[in-house]
Amino acid sequence: MIWVIIPTYNEEKALPHTIRSVFSQSTPYRVIIVDGGSTDHTLEILRQDSQISWCMAPKGRASQMNAGARFAIKQQAAADDWLLFLHADTQLPPDAFQHLHHLASDSSYQAGGFRHRFSGEDWRLRMISRLDNLRCTHSHIVYGDQALFVRQGLFTQLGGFPTQAVLEDVVFGQTLLTQTTPRLLPLTVITDSRKFVKMGIWRSLIRVLMIILHVEFGLPTFSAAFFQDVR
């Protein structure tokens, strides 16, 4: 079984596309959306489809994704089941679950992610994605927008995502490396580029480079203000 956990906060623009990319997959899977107090039409979208299970949690990706994992466990998620953490603005490739079902019986696969690309044709966005994919190939740390998947038992053993405001995916990825080497699948997820465009592509590129330098060389952790909440 694949348990798709999607944290949301005011994602009415991108969420319908993400949900469609999940519903087009092969079964079996379950969708759990954890909302952090949206004030737009996100909750209305959730209530429209009976295939979606959803709950509320304090705003913050770590808090929301951990709540989604707990929800899955209460719904009898097995230790070998996949927990797939999907950003609300990121679409899965059509055959994503087919690959994960194929890997399910191979115990050497404990965690992994997908290659990443932004929507649109701007070369700067493509460059950011290439840097991200190269970084992941080198470090084996899967970022949140790469649709991290991990066995439920291992995720629980590691205590889930650290309860911090930023870079929870990086810290969890570093902890994950103490137990296994995540695999990067030869499939690409597509993230809506609107937030990077709205923030400014060059500014976004500099931010990505600074995060990579932080991870690779242990630079001081950035303040929460560095991670501007753009909707």
In a domain, 231, yes or no: no
In a domain, 229, yes or no: no
d(CA 152, CA 95): 21
Alpha carbon dihedral 23, 150, 164, 179, in 10-degree steps, equals: -170
Determine if residue 134 is left, alpha or beta; phi over 0 gives left, psi from -120 to 50 gives alpha, anything else beta: alpha
In a domain, 212, yes or no: no
Residue 21: give its domain's CATH number: 3.90.550.10
CA 5 to the chain's CA centroid: 8
Global confidence as pTM: 0.88
Q: Quick: pLDDT tens for 18-63.
A: 999 999 998 899 999 999 999 999 999 999 888 999 999 999 999 9
Residue 143 has pLDDT above 80, yes or no: yes
In a domain, 30, yes or no: yes
- Mean of the pLDDT values across residues 210-224? 61
- Residue 17 sits in which domain range? 2-122+141-192
In a domain, 92, yes or no: yes
In a domain, 197, yes or no: no
Give the confidence band of 170 by pLDDT, cuts at 50, 70, 90.
confident
In a domain, 96, yes or no: yes
Q: State the average pLDDT for the chain.
A: 89
Answer with the residue of higher pLDDT: 26 or 69. Answer: 69
Name the residue among 26, 54, 202, 49 with its Cα closest to residue 128: 202
Cβ count near 109 (within 10 Å): 19
In a domain, 133, yes or no: no
Domains held by the chain: number: 1
